[in-house]
Amino acid sequence: MSKVTVQEKVLSENDRLAAGIRARLKARGIASLNLVSSPGAGKTSLLERTIRSLGGEIPMALIAGDVQTENDADRLKAAGARMVRPIVTGGACHLDARMVERALAELSLDGYRLLFIENVGNLVCPSSYDLGEDMKVVLVSTTEGDDKPLKYPGMFRRSSVMIVNKTDLLAHCDFNLDRVRANALRINGQLEIIELSCRTGEGLERWYDWLRRLVRPT
């Protein structure tokens, strides 16, 4: 059996599980977001700020994926998250739907409106794995290259929102906001772009408003 055939079977089973997760979350009125980025772009920092600012307004549960530690989950709990489930992959470079399904079985989601899934820091493998989310949100930071969308087109093509973090460091980095916007929209013309700084708080209100619209009853 070829490697391609094995991979196709793995992804097919993953997609089946993800569809079941998505249906169950939708039936309970829970929106779900899969946060993806390179290591160090600021996913956990963004979630910490979001929990502190919106935790009392939008009931949210979190799944925090990491390769070896539960450090990110511990940070989210310290920020005030009421429902956090860590997933330690033990070396795997991405989460998959079976991991998320097992984590959800250990969470009580009664009364929650939003589920964040913080994926492992990686812009390659996570692009191929549906976790049952409604949308992928991809983070880049000004300390990275503004050509990230061109280097990892699969992730940006499959994402609905691109967050540019660490805008407070723009003056110290060789990063061009106009160029990263153009590169991202070249890959995905429907991508919504939000620029912010988790350190200073600049731009975070736009992110919060986007989340409010996401969970608002139609």
Sign of the dihedral through C-alpha 19, 24, 28, 31: negative
Q: 3-215, which class in CATH?
A: alpha beta
DSSP code, position 204: H
pTM for the structure as a whole: 0.92
Alpha carbon distance 186, 198 (integer Å): 26
Which is nearest to 60 in space by CA: 78, 46, 75, 47? 47
pLDDT per position in the chain (218 positions), as tens? 455 555 667 789 999 999 999 999 999 999 999 999 999 999 999 999 999 999 999 999 999 999 888 999 999 999 999 999 999 998 888 999 999 999 999 888 999 999 999 999 999 999 999 999 999 999 999 999 999 999 999 999 999 999 999 999 999 999 999 999 999 999 999 999 999 999 999 999 999 999 999 998 64
